[in-house]
């Protein structure tokens, strides 16, 4: 009798993707509700971690891509293409590859979280986590950005491991 248990990749992918999207939406909603007006720091852990509401109409790390509806539509299309590619990678992953499922779930959930934000508002993606060490200032980010970043690092490690295993003749 075949197992009715979901594949390990699904057990990693879906809960992480959903968790990132929900946590991102909830925290952004709270940031907008409690941190207005924008650009005023609210210390959380001294001056190292502050909550500062900002709106990012650009891409990751605040890289500008132009303004207006055309730039926004272009970003939406790029993210949709990325999500299709990520889901294709998920579908092609072996059922037992939980690490690849986890990495893809984190990246996909983060991409979807920021996409939802971009579609909801012309102001841009809500960012609010502000990290500083002395005079060094990390860019302001959100839960979706953290999901994409952690997931991308994990994805690079997993793919490197798979490539290494394939070139040595072992299964990943």
Catalytic residue (one of 69, 127, 130, 163): 127
- Six token digits for residue 102: 């986890």
At 128, which helix (H) or strand (E)?
Answer: strand 125-133
- Six token digits for residue 66: 């132009």
User: Do 101 and 12 touch, CB atoms closer than 8 A?
Assistant: yes
For 40, 67, 68, the CA distances from 57, given in Å and listed in that order, are 18, 7, 9
Evaluated on CA atoms 122, 24, 151, 62, the torsion sign reads positive
- Specify whether 117 is catalytic: no
- Specify whether 145 is catalytic: yes
Cβ burial, residue 100 (10 Å; 0-12/13-18/19+): buried
DSSP 142: -
At 55, which helix (H) or strand (E)?
Answer: strand 49-56
- Catalytic residue ranges: 127, 145
């Amino acid at each position: 009798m075949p197992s009715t248990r979901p594949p390990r990749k699904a057990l990693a992918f879906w809960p992480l993707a959903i968790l990132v999207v929900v946590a991102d939406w909830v925290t952004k909603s709270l940031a907008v509700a409690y941190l207005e007006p924008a650009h005023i720091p609210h210390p959380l852990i001294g001056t190292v971690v502050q909550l500062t509401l900002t709106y990012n109409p650009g891409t990751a790390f605040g890289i500008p891509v132009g303004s207006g509806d055309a730039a926004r539509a272009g970003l939406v299309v790029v993210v949709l293409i990325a999500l299709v590619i990520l889901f294709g990678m998920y579908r092609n992953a072996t059922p037992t590859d939980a690490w690849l499922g986890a990495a893809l779930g984190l990246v996909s959930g983060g991409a979807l979280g920021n996409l939802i934000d971009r579609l909801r508002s012309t102001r841009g993606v809500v960012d609010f986590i502000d990290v500083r060490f002395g005079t060094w200032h990390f860019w302001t980010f959100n839960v979706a950005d953290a999901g994409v970043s952690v997931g991308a690092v994990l994805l690079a490690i997993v793919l490197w491991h798979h490539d290494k295993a394939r070139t040595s003749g072992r299964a990943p």
